[in-house]
Amino acid sequence: MPDGSDREREIRELAWRLWRDAGSPDGREEEFWYAAEAELRTREDRSSDADDGSFPASDPRSDTGIMGPGR
């Protein structure tokens, strides 16, 4: 996980891209900052989920011999 200054830079850069892609509307800086924070948090959550070695309930481990529907 990035330290505070790296995280703030990531948020700032993403917020700027989101703001620019939305047509650079005036007076909505906080909206884009919070959207950038949420998007980065979601990315981090997905990344940590993929790294923990667990399997979602809908995707049984292949070494269990359990096959999903239609398999």
CA distances from 62 to 35, 43, 46, 59, 65 (A): 37, 26, 21, 9, 6
pTM: 0.63
Sign, CA dihedral 47-52-55-57, equals negative
Block residue for tokens 């650079």: 24
More confident: 21 or 65: 21
Structure tokens belonging to residue 60: 């049984």
Among 1-5, 55-59, 66-70, top mean pLDDT goes to 1-5
pLDDT for 7-52, tens place per residue?
999 999 999 999 999 999 999 999 999 999 999 999 988 888 776 6
